[in-house]
A and B are shown apart, each in its own frame.
Chain A
Amino acid sequence: MTCMDRLIAAACLLAASFAVTAGEAEVRRMTQDKVSADRIQSIEKVPWGELFEVVVRGPDGPQIFYVDAEAKVIIVGQAIDARSGRNLTESRKRELTRVKWESLPLQWAITSQRGSGRRKIAILSDPNCPYCKRFEEDLAKLDDISVHILPWAVVQAESVRQAKSVWCSKDRVKAWNDLMFRRIEPQARTDCDNPIDEIIAYGRTLGANSTPTWFLENGERYSGAVPFEELQALLDQASPKR
Protein backbone atom coordinates (compact mmCIF):
# COMPACT_ATOMS: atom_id res chain seq x y z
CA MET A 1 0.00 0.00 0.00
CA THR A 2 1.46 3.35 -0.98
CA CYS A 3 1.34 6.35 1.28
CA MET A 4 -1.35 7.92 -0.89
CA ASP A 5 -3.45 4.77 -0.76
CA ARG A 6 -3.12 4.72 2.97
CA LEU A 7 -4.25 8.32 3.24
CA ILE A 8 -7.24 7.67 1.05
CA ALA A 9 -8.14 4.59 3.04
CA ALA A 10 -7.84 6.51 6.30
CA ALA A 11 -9.95 9.34 4.92
CA CYS A 12 -12.60 6.87 3.81
CA LEU A 13 -12.63 5.20 7.20
CA LEU A 14 -12.95 8.56 8.90
CA ALA A 15 -15.77 9.59 6.61
CA ALA A 16 -17.49 6.27 7.18
CA SER A 17 -17.23 6.59 10.95
CA PHE A 18 -18.66 10.11 10.83
CA ALA A 19 -21.55 8.87 8.72
CA VAL A 20 -22.18 6.07 11.20
CA THR A 21 -22.27 8.30 14.26
CA ALA A 22 -24.52 10.79 12.51
CA GLY A 23 -26.98 8.07 11.57
CA GLU A 24 -26.77 6.52 14.98
CA ALA A 25 -27.78 9.76 16.70
CA GLU A 26 -30.83 10.02 14.46
CA VAL A 27 -31.81 6.45 15.15
CA ARG A 28 -31.31 6.89 18.88
CA ARG A 29 -33.42 10.03 18.97
CA MET A 30 -36.25 8.38 17.07
CA THR A 31 -36.09 5.24 19.23
CA GLN A 32 -36.17 7.24 22.46
CA ASP A 33 -39.37 8.89 21.26
CA LYS A 34 -40.97 5.48 21.02
CA VAL A 35 -39.64 3.53 24.00
CA SER A 36 -38.19 4.56 27.36
CA ALA A 37 -34.41 4.91 27.38
CA ASP A 38 -33.86 2.12 29.92
CA ARG A 39 -35.46 -0.38 27.53
CA ILE A 40 -33.00 0.37 24.75
CA GLN A 41 -30.28 -2.24 25.02
CA SER A 42 -28.12 -1.26 22.06
CA ILE A 43 -28.06 0.60 18.77
CA GLU A 44 -25.46 -0.51 16.26
CA LYS A 45 -24.91 -0.51 12.55
CA VAL A 46 -25.45 -3.98 11.12
CA PRO A 47 -22.35 -5.61 9.61
CA TRP A 48 -24.24 -6.61 6.45
CA GLY A 49 -25.81 -3.43 5.11
CA GLU A 50 -26.75 0.19 5.54
CA LEU A 51 -29.15 -0.34 8.40
CA PHE A 52 -29.06 0.10 12.15
CA GLU A 53 -29.99 -2.66 14.51
CA VAL A 54 -32.01 -1.55 17.53
CA VAL A 55 -32.27 -3.97 20.43
CA VAL A 56 -35.11 -3.31 22.85
CA ARG A 57 -35.61 -5.23 26.09
CA GLY A 58 -38.99 -6.97 25.95
CA PRO A 59 -40.79 -9.08 28.54
CA ASP A 60 -39.64 -12.19 26.68
CA GLY A 61 -36.05 -11.17 26.07
CA PRO A 62 -34.46 -8.89 23.50
CA GLN A 63 -36.38 -7.74 20.45
CA ILE A 64 -34.54 -6.71 17.30
CA PHE A 65 -35.64 -4.00 14.88
CA TYR A 66 -33.90 -2.42 11.94
CA VAL A 67 -33.92 1.28 11.16
CA ASP A 68 -32.53 3.18 8.17
CA ALA A 69 -29.77 5.76 8.75
CA GLU A 70 -32.19 8.66 8.42
CA ALA A 71 -34.49 7.06 10.99
CA LYS A 72 -37.44 7.27 8.64
CA VAL A 73 -38.55 3.66 8.68
CA ILE A 74 -38.58 0.86 11.23
CA ILE A 75 -38.30 -2.63 9.82
CA VAL A 76 -39.80 -5.45 11.87
CA GLY A 77 -38.82 -8.87 10.67
CA GLN A 78 -36.09 -11.34 9.86
CA ALA A 79 -32.96 -10.62 7.87
CA ILE A 80 -31.87 -13.63 5.83
CA ASP A 81 -28.46 -13.97 4.18
CA ALA A 82 -29.43 -14.22 0.51
CA ARG A 83 -26.52 -16.49 -0.34
CA SER A 84 -26.34 -18.94 2.56
CA GLY A 85 -29.95 -18.75 3.70
CA ARG A 86 -28.75 -18.15 7.25
CA ASN A 87 -31.20 -16.25 9.43
CA LEU A 88 -29.09 -13.29 10.57
CA THR A 89 -31.69 -11.97 13.00
CA GLU A 90 -32.05 -15.35 14.65
CA SER A 91 -28.26 -15.77 15.06
CA ARG A 92 -27.97 -12.29 16.51
CA LYS A 93 -30.76 -13.01 18.96
CA ARG A 94 -28.94 -16.16 20.01
CA GLU A 95 -25.83 -14.09 20.62
CA LEU A 96 -27.77 -11.58 22.70
CA THR A 97 -29.45 -14.24 24.84
CA ARG A 98 -26.22 -16.16 25.40
CA VAL A 99 -25.47 -16.85 29.05
CA LYS A 100 -22.26 -17.86 30.79
CA TRP A 101 -22.43 -21.60 31.40
CA GLU A 102 -20.71 -21.03 34.77
CA SER A 103 -23.48 -18.63 35.77
CA LEU A 104 -26.21 -21.30 35.52
CA PRO A 105 -27.44 -22.37 38.98
CA LEU A 106 -26.53 -26.02 38.47
CA GLN A 107 -26.62 -26.60 42.23
CA TRP A 108 -30.41 -26.58 41.71
CA ALA A 109 -30.26 -29.10 38.88
CA ILE A 110 -31.11 -32.78 38.81
CA THR A 111 -27.95 -34.07 37.19
CA SER A 112 -27.18 -37.31 35.45
CA GLN A 113 -24.08 -38.28 33.55
CA ARG A 114 -23.38 -40.97 31.01
CA GLY A 115 -20.02 -42.06 29.62
CA SER A 116 -17.43 -39.31 29.84
CA GLY A 117 -20.12 -36.65 30.38
CA ARG A 118 -18.28 -34.52 27.82
CA ARG A 119 -21.29 -32.89 26.17
CA LYS A 120 -23.17 -30.62 28.53
CA ILE A 121 -26.74 -29.41 28.50
CA ALA A 122 -28.93 -27.61 31.05
CA ILE A 123 -32.70 -27.62 30.56
CA LEU A 124 -35.57 -25.66 32.03
CA SER A 125 -38.10 -28.47 31.95
CA ASP A 126 -41.67 -28.92 33.19
CA PRO A 127 -43.21 -32.31 34.01
CA ASN A 128 -46.45 -31.32 32.24
CA CYS A 129 -44.87 -30.22 28.98
CA PRO A 130 -45.17 -33.01 26.38
CA TYR A 131 -42.25 -31.66 24.35
CA CYS A 132 -40.00 -31.72 27.42
CA LYS A 133 -40.73 -35.42 27.69
CA ARG A 134 -39.88 -36.01 24.02
CA PHE A 135 -36.72 -33.94 24.34
CA GLU A 136 -35.51 -35.77 27.43
CA GLU A 137 -36.26 -39.12 25.77
CA ASP A 138 -33.93 -38.08 22.96
CA LEU A 139 -31.25 -37.03 25.43
CA ALA A 140 -31.55 -40.39 27.19
CA LYS A 141 -30.36 -42.07 23.96
CA LEU A 142 -27.07 -40.15 24.01
CA ASP A 143 -23.79 -41.24 25.50
CA ASP A 144 -20.95 -39.04 26.79
CA ILE A 145 -23.32 -36.46 28.12
CA SER A 146 -24.09 -34.53 31.31
CA VAL A 147 -27.74 -33.57 31.60
CA HIS A 148 -28.66 -30.90 34.13
CA ILE A 149 -32.41 -30.58 34.58
CA LEU A 150 -33.67 -27.44 36.26
CA PRO A 151 -37.25 -28.32 37.20
CA TRP A 152 -39.03 -25.20 35.99
CA ALA A 153 -42.58 -25.72 37.25
CA VAL A 154 -44.49 -23.19 35.18
CA VAL A 155 -46.89 -24.94 32.82
CA GLN A 156 -49.51 -26.00 35.38
CA ALA A 157 -50.16 -25.43 39.08
CA GLU A 158 -49.73 -29.18 39.53
CA SER A 159 -46.17 -28.95 38.23
CA VAL A 160 -45.02 -27.14 41.37
CA ARG A 161 -46.15 -29.92 43.70
CA GLN A 162 -44.62 -32.58 41.45
CA ALA A 163 -41.29 -30.76 41.13
CA LYS A 164 -41.03 -30.18 44.88
CA SER A 165 -41.83 -33.80 45.60
CA VAL A 166 -39.18 -34.95 43.12
CA TRP A 167 -36.64 -32.68 44.78
CA CYS A 168 -37.53 -34.10 48.19
CA SER A 169 -37.12 -37.69 46.94
CA LYS A 170 -34.12 -39.72 48.01
CA ASP A 171 -33.12 -40.44 44.41
CA ARG A 172 -34.00 -37.30 42.45
CA VAL A 173 -32.87 -38.59 39.07
CA LYS A 174 -35.03 -41.69 39.42
CA ALA A 175 -38.04 -39.74 40.74
CA TRP A 176 -37.80 -37.23 37.88
CA ASN A 177 -37.38 -39.89 35.20
CA ASP A 178 -40.21 -41.96 36.65
CA LEU A 179 -42.47 -38.93 36.42
CA MET A 180 -41.27 -37.80 33.00
CA PHE A 181 -41.06 -41.15 31.23
CA ARG A 182 -43.44 -43.42 33.11
CA ARG A 183 -45.90 -41.02 34.72
CA ILE A 184 -45.21 -42.45 38.14
CA GLU A 185 -46.10 -39.68 40.57
CA PRO A 186 -43.38 -38.83 43.11
CA GLN A 187 -44.37 -39.89 46.61
CA ALA A 188 -42.07 -37.75 48.76
CA ARG A 189 -43.37 -34.80 50.73
CA THR A 190 -43.07 -31.31 49.25
CA ASP A 191 -41.96 -29.28 52.26
CA CYS A 192 -38.27 -30.13 52.34
CA ASP A 193 -35.76 -27.38 51.62
CA ASN A 194 -36.02 -27.02 47.82
CA PRO A 195 -35.11 -24.51 45.10
CA ILE A 196 -38.28 -24.86 42.98
CA ASP A 197 -39.58 -21.34 43.65
CA GLU A 198 -36.11 -19.90 43.01
CA ILE A 199 -35.87 -21.74 39.70
CA ILE A 200 -39.26 -20.32 38.63
CA ALA A 201 -37.99 -16.82 39.38
CA TYR A 202 -34.63 -17.51 37.73
CA GLY A 203 -36.26 -18.59 34.46
CA ARG A 204 -38.30 -15.41 34.43
CA THR A 205 -35.20 -13.22 34.90
CA LEU A 206 -33.76 -14.90 31.82
CA GLY A 207 -36.92 -13.91 29.95
CA ALA A 208 -37.73 -17.53 29.17
CA ASN A 209 -41.34 -18.00 28.10
CA SER A 210 -41.50 -21.56 26.88
CA THR A 211 -40.49 -25.10 27.75
CA PRO A 212 -38.17 -26.74 27.14
CA THR A 213 -35.64 -23.89 27.12
CA TRP A 214 -32.09 -25.17 27.14
CA PHE A 215 -28.47 -24.06 27.26
CA LEU A 216 -25.29 -25.53 25.84
CA GLU A 217 -21.76 -25.31 27.20
CA ASN A 218 -20.95 -22.36 24.92
CA GLY A 219 -23.81 -20.46 26.53
CA GLU A 220 -26.15 -20.65 23.55
CA ARG A 221 -29.82 -20.79 24.34
CA TYR A 222 -32.51 -22.70 22.46
CA SER A 223 -36.22 -23.41 22.78
CA GLY A 224 -38.10 -26.53 21.91
CA ALA A 225 -37.59 -30.19 21.23
CA VAL A 226 -35.46 -29.91 18.09
CA PRO A 227 -34.99 -32.96 15.83
CA PHE A 228 -32.57 -35.55 17.21
CA GLU A 229 -29.88 -35.09 14.53
CA GLU A 230 -29.89 -31.35 15.02
CA LEU A 231 -29.59 -31.78 18.78
CA GLN A 232 -26.57 -34.05 18.39
CA ALA A 233 -24.87 -31.63 16.01
CA LEU A 234 -25.46 -28.68 18.35
CA LEU A 235 -24.15 -30.59 21.36
CA ASP A 236 -20.96 -31.59 19.53
CA GLN A 237 -20.43 -28.08 18.27
CA ALA A 238 -20.84 -26.55 21.74
CA SER A 239 -18.74 -29.16 23.56
CA PRO A 240 -16.01 -30.22 21.12
CA LYS A 241 -13.73 -33.17 21.80
CA ARG A 242 -10.65 -31.95 23.62
Chain B
Amino acid sequence: MKRFVFAMALALTAAPACAQLFGADELLEPERAFRLTARALDERNVEIEFRIAEGYYMYRDRFSFATESGRRLGGVAIPRGELKEDPFFGRTETFRRAVRMRVPVSGEDIRRGNVKLKVISQGCSDQGVCYVPLEQTVSVTLSPR
Protein backbone atom coordinates (compact mmCIF):
# COMPACT_ATOMS: atom_id res chain seq x y z
CA MET B 1 0.00 0.00 0.00
CA LYS B 2 2.78 2.40 0.95
CA ARG B 3 4.51 1.72 -2.33
CA PHE B 4 1.28 2.41 -4.17
CA VAL B 5 0.84 5.77 -2.44
CA PHE B 6 4.40 6.68 -3.31
CA ALA B 7 3.86 5.77 -6.95
CA MET B 8 0.70 7.85 -7.02
CA ALA B 9 2.49 10.85 -5.53
CA LEU B 10 5.24 10.49 -8.09
CA ALA B 11 2.74 10.26 -10.91
CA LEU B 12 0.97 13.39 -9.68
CA THR B 13 4.10 15.48 -9.33
CA ALA B 14 5.31 14.33 -12.73
CA ALA B 15 2.04 15.32 -14.37
CA PRO B 16 2.77 18.98 -15.14
CA ALA B 17 6.09 18.10 -16.74
CA CYS B 18 4.43 15.45 -18.87
CA ALA B 19 1.66 17.81 -19.87
CA GLN B 20 4.35 20.18 -21.11
CA LEU B 21 6.27 17.42 -22.80
CA PHE B 22 3.36 15.99 -24.68
CA GLY B 23 1.07 18.96 -24.62
CA ALA B 24 0.26 21.46 -27.31
CA ASP B 25 2.92 23.81 -26.02
CA GLU B 26 5.62 23.47 -28.60
CA LEU B 27 4.96 24.56 -32.14
CA LEU B 28 6.72 22.55 -34.82
CA GLU B 29 8.91 24.16 -37.42
CA PRO B 30 6.92 24.06 -40.70
CA GLU B 31 9.34 21.58 -42.31
CA ARG B 32 8.59 19.16 -39.50
CA ALA B 33 4.86 19.81 -39.39
CA PHE B 34 4.59 19.22 -43.13
CA ARG B 35 7.10 16.58 -44.17
CA LEU B 36 7.72 16.45 -47.88
CA THR B 37 8.89 13.40 -49.80
CA ALA B 38 8.95 12.76 -53.54
CA ARG B 39 9.42 9.71 -55.73
CA ALA B 40 9.15 8.83 -59.38
CA LEU B 41 5.83 7.15 -60.11
CA ASP B 42 6.85 6.23 -63.64
CA GLU B 43 9.01 7.84 -66.28
CA ARG B 44 6.84 10.92 -66.66
CA ASN B 45 5.21 11.45 -63.28
CA VAL B 46 6.51 12.37 -59.87
CA GLU B 47 4.54 11.74 -56.72
CA ILE B 48 4.75 14.37 -54.03
CA GLU B 49 3.69 13.37 -50.57
CA PHE B 50 3.20 15.53 -47.51
CA ARG B 51 2.93 13.77 -44.20
CA ILE B 52 1.13 16.14 -41.90
CA ALA B 53 1.72 16.08 -38.16
CA GLU B 54 -1.24 15.50 -35.85
CA GLY B 55 -3.02 18.78 -35.14
CA TYR B 56 -1.84 20.44 -38.35
CA TYR B 57 -3.54 20.87 -41.71
CA MET B 58 -2.77 22.09 -45.23
CA TYR B 59 -4.85 24.04 -47.73
CA ARG B 60 -5.64 22.38 -51.06
CA ASP B 61 -5.61 25.60 -53.09
CA ARG B 62 -2.24 26.75 -51.77
CA PHE B 63 -0.09 24.09 -53.39
CA SER B 64 1.98 25.19 -56.33
CA PHE B 65 4.75 23.51 -58.24
CA ALA B 66 7.53 24.90 -60.37
CA THR B 67 10.69 23.73 -62.04
CA GLU B 68 14.02 24.76 -60.61
CA SER B 69 14.12 27.70 -63.00
CA GLY B 70 10.74 28.87 -61.74
CA ARG B 71 8.47 27.72 -64.57
CA ARG B 72 5.07 26.93 -63.08
CA LEU B 73 3.93 23.33 -63.56
CA GLY B 74 0.31 22.64 -64.40
CA GLY B 75 -1.78 19.51 -64.65
CA VAL B 76 -1.05 18.41 -61.11
CA ALA B 77 -3.52 15.85 -59.80
CA ILE B 78 -4.52 16.80 -56.26
CA PRO B 79 -7.20 14.72 -54.50
CA ARG B 80 -10.26 16.34 -52.97
CA GLY B 81 -9.71 17.56 -49.46
CA GLU B 82 -11.98 17.81 -46.49
CA LEU B 83 -14.54 20.47 -47.39
CA LYS B 84 -15.18 23.30 -44.98
CA GLU B 85 -17.89 25.85 -45.63
CA ASP B 86 -16.71 28.89 -43.73
CA PRO B 87 -19.14 31.81 -43.64
CA PHE B 88 -16.15 34.11 -43.48
CA PHE B 89 -13.43 32.65 -45.66
CA GLY B 90 -15.75 30.79 -48.02
CA ARG B 91 -15.25 27.22 -49.20
CA THR B 92 -11.94 25.74 -48.27
CA GLU B 93 -10.56 22.27 -48.74
CA THR B 94 -7.97 21.04 -46.32
CA PHE B 95 -5.88 17.94 -45.72
CA ARG B 96 -4.90 16.28 -42.50
CA ARG B 97 -2.50 13.37 -41.87
CA ALA B 98 -1.27 13.08 -45.48
CA VAL B 99 -1.79 14.12 -49.05
CA ARG B 100 -0.32 12.67 -52.23
CA MET B 101 -0.19 14.52 -55.53
CA ARG B 102 0.86 13.51 -59.01
CA VAL B 103 3.04 16.00 -60.88
CA PRO B 104 3.68 15.40 -64.60
CA VAL B 105 7.19 16.38 -65.68
CA SER B 106 8.45 17.70 -68.98
CA GLY B 107 10.04 15.80 -71.85
CA GLU B 108 13.28 17.59 -71.16
CA ASP B 109 13.34 16.39 -67.54
CA ILE B 110 12.58 12.89 -68.73
CA ARG B 111 15.52 12.94 -71.15
CA ARG B 112 17.80 14.19 -68.39
CA GLY B 113 16.62 11.42 -66.10
CA ASN B 114 16.03 13.60 -63.10
CA VAL B 115 13.98 16.56 -62.02
CA LYS B 116 14.23 19.24 -59.37
CA LEU B 117 10.88 20.56 -58.20
CA LYS B 118 10.06 23.62 -56.18
CA VAL B 119 7.05 22.91 -54.02
CA ILE B 120 5.14 25.72 -52.33
CA SER B 121 2.59 24.86 -49.68
CA GLN B 122 0.76 26.47 -46.82
CA GLY B 123 -0.85 25.18 -43.69
CA CYS B 124 -1.86 25.93 -40.13
CA SER B 125 -1.78 24.38 -36.68
CA ASP B 126 -4.82 23.81 -34.46
CA GLN B 127 -2.81 25.65 -31.81
CA GLY B 128 -3.83 28.87 -33.51
CA VAL B 129 -1.19 29.79 -36.03
CA CYS B 130 -0.91 29.75 -39.79
CA TYR B 131 2.49 29.42 -41.35
CA VAL B 132 3.72 31.62 -44.14
CA PRO B 133 3.95 29.70 -47.44
CA LEU B 134 6.73 27.18 -47.32
CA GLU B 135 9.02 26.71 -50.29
CA GLN B 136 10.91 23.44 -50.52
CA THR B 137 12.98 21.86 -53.26
CA VAL B 138 13.06 18.15 -53.98
CA SER B 139 15.17 16.24 -56.44
CA VAL B 140 13.85 13.02 -57.99
CA THR B 141 15.53 10.50 -60.25
CA LEU B 142 13.13 9.37 -62.92
CA SER B 143 12.85 5.66 -63.44
CA PRO B 144 13.01 4.55 -67.06
CA ARG B 145 10.57 1.80 -67.92
Contact = CB atoms under 8 A, between A and B. Distances in A.
Chains A and B bind each other: yes
Interface of A: 58, 60, 78, 80-87, 90, 126, 128-135, 154-156, 183, 208-212, 223-226
B58 to A, nearest CB: 13
B130 A87 contact: no
B26 A154 contact: no
With a 10 A CB-CB cut-off, give which of B15, B86, B131 has the most chain A CB atoms: B131
Interface of B: 13-17, 19-21, 25-27, 29-30, 62, 86, 88-89, 122, 124-125, 127-133
A87 B128 contact: no
B13 to A, nearest CB: 8
Interface centre among A81, A83, A130, A208 (most CB of B within 10 A): A130
Q: Is the interface of B mostly helix, strand, loop or mixed?
A: mixed
A223 B16 contact: no
Contacts of B27: 210, 223-224
Given A85-B17, A128-B89, A210-B129, 18 more contacts: A80-B20, A83-B13, A85-B16, A130-B89, A133-B88, A134-B128, A135-B128, A154-B133, A155-B130, A156-B62, A183-B88, A209-B30, A209-B131, A210-B30, A210-B132, A211-B130, A225-B129, A226-B128
Contacts of A86: 20
Contacts of B131: 209-210
A130 B124 contact: yes
Contacts of B128: 131, 134-135, 224-226
Which 4 pairs across A and B sit closest by C-beta, in order of nearness? A85-B16, A225-B128, A224-B128, A224-B129
Contact of A154 (B86, B124, B129, B132): B132
A81 B89 CA distance: 41
A228 to B, nearest CB: 11
Contacts of B26: 78, 87, 90
Contact of B129 (A82, A87, A131, A156): A131
A129 B92 CA distance: 13
A231 to B, nearest CB: 11
Nearest to A180: B88
16 contacts: A58-B29, A80-B21, A85-B15, A85-B19, A129-B130, A130-B86, A130-B89, A130-B124, A131-B130, A132-B130, A133-B88, A155-B130, A156-B122, A209-B29, A211-B130, A225-B128
